[in-house]
Structure 1
Amino acid sequence: MSAIKSHTLSVRPKGKVWPTVVLLIGAVYCLVPVAWVFIASSKSRAELFTTFSFAPGSGLFDNLASLFTYGGGQYGKWALNSLLYAGLGGLLSTLVSTMAGYALAKYEFRGRSLIFYCILGGVLIPGITLAIPQYLLLSQVGLAGGYLSVLLPVIISPFGIYLSRVYASSAVPTETIEASRLDGANEWRTFRSIGLPMMVPGMVTVFMLQFVGIWNNFLLPFVMLSDQNNYPITVGLYTLLSKGSGSPALYSLAITGAAVSIIPLVLLMLFLQRFWRLDLLSGGLKG
């Protein structure tokens, strides 16, 4: 028995090595390009085009000054537009997804399964295939080219509704809802007072996914918008890169702009992380 136990103990650590190695390789694969963007943004144009190294450069503050003064502060406008699209669009999408997911999870009505399967089908459809039809529809009603042309398509998120439905099924007890109805509360008050607070961690997850997806979205605003003052950061940086063939200095601005655009996502993740920790703590207390 002692020999078997010692053999088992010697095998288990080895079995844990390979998953760790795979995770480390994946982390390096994902983080090295991000690290290079931050390092490259600190280099002057001479350092960027003459050497390739991961050593920080000496042109960070000059690059930031050039970035935020380019085109009369155009990058600042793009950043505010991205914040509007991602912030407002993420909030509206989270609200719609929460209400739809709660209804699909807690109400019995005819056609519920069909609606849910249609939503699952929507999850499988790539967003890139919907950009042109959405543009044609919005152009018919005169909304193409404005802020609404980017906001309206992102409000409905099939994946967000699916996540909300799954979370509502497990996090909101049906017995609690029935008790609220017996106390005389209507459906809206039950959802607002009981369902919504219990779904906050799930709502944070949906909002985070939607914010990051909208912030990084390129094709939809590229198709919808023609005025550069309405561009988000993604399309704005693309215009800098497209002009960079005639003016190499714009490459440095595009790299610096890409590095700056990552910072809000990191800050948002750090800020919202406490909600996930709170959910894990509450789950541990329940168990």
Structure 2
Amino acid sequence: MIIEERPADIGNFMVGRLLPFRGKRTVGPYIFIDHMGPAKLSDTQNIDVPPHPHIGLSTLTYLFEGSMMHRDSLGTEVEIQPGAVNWMTAGRGVVHSERTPEYLRHSDKSLHGLQIWVAMPRELEDAEPSFQHVEAKDIPYWEEGEVTFRLIAGTAFGRRSPVSVYSRQFFLEIHSTSEQQLRIGQELFGESGLYILQGSIESDGHTYTPKQILVAKDTSLCTFTIHADTTIYIFGGEPFPEERHIYWNFVSSSREKIAAAKQRWLEQRFDPVPGETEFVLLPDQGNRPV
């Protein structure tokens, strides 16, 4: 299956939406992927996503370029920089904002990265919210000839990322400086998707280029040619037995829990982000900050 990147508006910033897709709602536990940028922002343009809520998922923010300030209702305040991983687990409910750091707000800047939602196992959907920041230097990295690997989350190739995931999954970065044939199916499990950030790959006589996700029919047969100067991301894992529902920023195996979270946000009964007073309205209310 080939999923093309589609434009989506997240407020004052356009992104390329990759998941969910009408023909494929999830890949393993991965339920939502946005490709942010690459964007060049002037000294008067800034990213400002006001406080908004999540339930039933973990968010994974991974930047290739630029910087973003994360603040949440747990009291976390941390700057996300390229190569680091922000892993926020919503559980029963968390609120966060994402903004250009203060020191960059009056200068030219860039932003490029991925924002990902990973659904939680049903028995953990009501867990206490938590936050983990893993520096780039702590992400497992290795080389095999002219191919480099980073295990951003989960387990693969006998290695484990320090990111605290809640189900069997993997999220890998692979970069090659020369044309190579890769056979990695035996290292993967469950379902897998392949996203091309730059360059191209070839499989079964077809060439695939950036802004596409390829979903493998059989993970164990994951063999392809990666061309020179190509970077790809492979993600997936064991799918859950139950369907996951999505409404706005809420993910759950239960429609009732989503309805309850919607009402809780309408009544502003989520814990607030310290120091921030504006918030994003529900889509039914116009989805604009107040």
Q: Same fold (TM over 0.5)?
A: no
| Structure in which a larger fraction of residues adopt strand | 2
| Structure in which a larger fraction of residues adopt helix | 1
Which TM class, normalised by the smaller chain length? Answer: under 0.3
**Which has the higher relative contact order, 1 or 2, with Cα contacts under 8 A spaced 6 or more apart?**
1
